[in-house]
Amino acid sequence: MRKIIFFSLFAVVSISLFSFSSAENARRNETYFLAKGDTLTWKLLGVIKYEKRKHPKYGEVQFPVVDEKVKSKGAKRVFISGFIVPIDSKTFAISKNVFAACFFCGKAGPESIVGLKFRGTTPKLKTDQYVTVEGVFRYNETDADDWIYNFDDVVIVKGN
């Protein structure tokens, strides 16, 4: 009985330390990239409003109104860290959350995901792989068929 209790306690402590270690490493990585270059944060991308407008194809649609601080990053090479979410076999996005809690599951808003267009061939990626990417930031306030946020000419700089 003591062995079972000891083993259970050991497992719980190990898992807790692993989770803390992963979160701490992610914070350190983000700090490194803040020092190295211009980094977008999910908190900043989350500062967004919506306004209803008519759309010729969909009727009345909630269009995003992107924050001015976010707009100031437009057309610049920036960094962001997050979890890889496959859209189809050739299209990927990066998300604030893991796939099970992403925008598609109703656990977050569309501002918590960024479409990715890779430089050259698309690298081999896994769902929920935590990466930091660099790319040219583009925001979208008018096209209801595109992401609100996009990175073009993307390269993975950490987590590959």
Residue 26 clears pLDDT 90, i.e. is over it:
no
Residue 30 clears pLDDT 80, i.e. is over it:
no
State pLDDT tens for residues 123-160.
Answer: 999 999 999 999 999 999 999 999 999 999 999 999 97
CA distance readout (Å), 72 to 31, 58, 125: 21, 30, 30
Q: How confident is the model at residue 37 (pLDDT cuts 50, 70, 90)?
A: low
pLDDT at 101: 83
Q: b/e per residue, 62-97, with b = 16+ CB within 10 A?
A: ebbebbeebeebeeeebbbbbbbbeeeeeebbbbbb
Q: Rounded to the nearest 5°, which phi and psi values hold at 116?
A: -120, 130
Residue 21 clears pLDDT 50, i.e. is over it:
no
State pLDDT tens for residues 48-101.
Answer: 999 999 999 999 999 999 999 999 999 999 999 999 999 988 899 999 999 888
Residue 9 clears pLDDT 60, i.e. is over it:
no
pLDDT at 20: 39
In the block, residue with structure tokens 């990175």: 151
73, containing H or E segment:
none
pLDDT at 5: 41
State pLDDT tens for residues 90-132.
Answer: 899 999 999 888 776 677 889 999 999 999 999 999 999 999 9
